[in-house]
Amino acid sequence: MPVKNRLAELHDTITEWRRDLHENPEILFETHRTAAIVAAKLRDFGCDEVVEGIGRTGVVGLIRGRRTDSGRTIGLRADMDALPIEEATGLAYASKTPGAMHACGHDGHTAMLLGAAQYLAETRNFDGTVAVIFQPAEEGGGGGREMVEDGMMDRFGIEEVYGMHNWPGQPLGSFAIRAGSFFAATDLFEVTIEGRGGHAAKPHETVDPTLAGAHVVTALQSIAARNVDPVMQAVISVTSFETSSKAFNVIPSRVHLKGTVRTLDEGVHDLVERRFSEIVEGTAAAMGCTARVSYTRNYPVMVNSDAQTAFAADVARAVSGSCEEAPLVMGGEDFSFMLNARPGAYILVGNGDTAAVHHPEYDFNDAAIPAGCSWWAEIVERRLPVDG
């Protein structure tokens, strides 16, 4: 079963939806226009129920099959939010909102799920119910967590859930997936190191937090190099280093560090968090400074369920002819909250030879739309077959 004919017919229409969303990006939970468009289209398609305001600005549409004897409901999820990036594509449909753009393809994910929803509402060739889930705030806001904590899974009786992300560099319209740990847990940290400032010409009269901060940055790398099992994965990245001084000749009294930790195993996750505070506080103390650590567990490891991953791969092979083993990804994905709540799987669809996500020149490849829509639609028709 290649791309579904009806979805091929809808390709131009879905592309128009996608480009309108691209032109009007919204960040985090401020997806008010996007959510309103999604809800209106779902109602136009004839969805049996459309609920807004799940997880603050999320939308869920329910589509019942021609039969519902199975009593089963599966969820399909797309993310809606953009990133705080200034677009540099020069496209005719480039962002009209300064400082915001769809630099991760969530406009494409939303448009593809809308296309699948229209097809499913027209055909209803399944036995059960589909919940199409449109989520805000994937990019750091934890919208997936908000929707789950808002009771979405129980309220709509969702038993399994499936998600998709476009992947630049992967052949256009092809698929890749892996069972088990897939995307990393993403933690956030802030460190404040306090010393005693003074004149740069008299460093002996100061306690220099800049020197302490520099040693902390270096020492943190010993966690991955010397504490974590070499066959496991851990990334500790200090991404911001600011001092309380802006002058050339003043040693500051305070240094502020920010960054992120990425892990793929819960044991490693616990180890890194423990060693992080020990190293920061100990290194600062060795330099005569004090340190305060704020360490936040943000997104958990995203884990694909074995049975659902095998099923999702079979569907991908039916749509595109193949499904490769995906690499481990140290990026985070808050679909992890939904997969913690229900079994399911997350798959990558090829975006072709394009700029990377989170890049100001990135653009979702509209040629991937028929494959993505068809995968979602086929997930439903195969998982909830009318003939049982």
DSSP one-letter code for 388: -
User: Is 106 assigned to a binding site?
Assistant: yes
Distance in angstroms (rounded) separating the CA atoms of residues 274 and 313? 37
Q: Which residues pair with 240 in a beta bridge?
A: 258
- Output phi, psi for 378, to 5 deg: -70, -30
Asked whether the beta carbons of 255 and 243 are under 8 A apart, the reply is yes
User: Is 109 assigned to a binding site?
Assistant: no
Sign of CA dihedral 45, 47, 52, 58: negative
Q: Two tokens at 233? A: 């994965």
Q: Two tokens at 227? A: 């504490």
Q: Two tokens at 329? A: 């990804």
Among residues 262, 265, 260, the alpha carbon closest in space to that of 229 is found at 265
User: Is 139 assigned to a binding site?
Assistant: yes
Distance in angstroms (rounded) separating the CA atoms of residues 28 and 128? 32
User: Is 266 assigned to a binding site?
Assistant: no
Among residues 224, 222, 223, 244, the alpha carbon closest in space to that of 233 is found at 224
Counting DSSP H helices and E strands in the chain, the numbers are 11, 16
Among residues 366, 179, 180, 212, the alpha carbon closest in space to that of 292 is found at 212
Report the chain's terminal Cα–Cα distance, integer Å.
19
Among residues 287, 149, 309, the alpha carbon closest in space to that of 213 is found at 287
Distance in angstroms (rounded) separating the CA atoms of residues 102 and 84? 9
Provide the annotated binding site for Mn(2+): 104, 106, 139, 165, 358
Provide the annotated binding site: 104, 106, 139, 165, 358
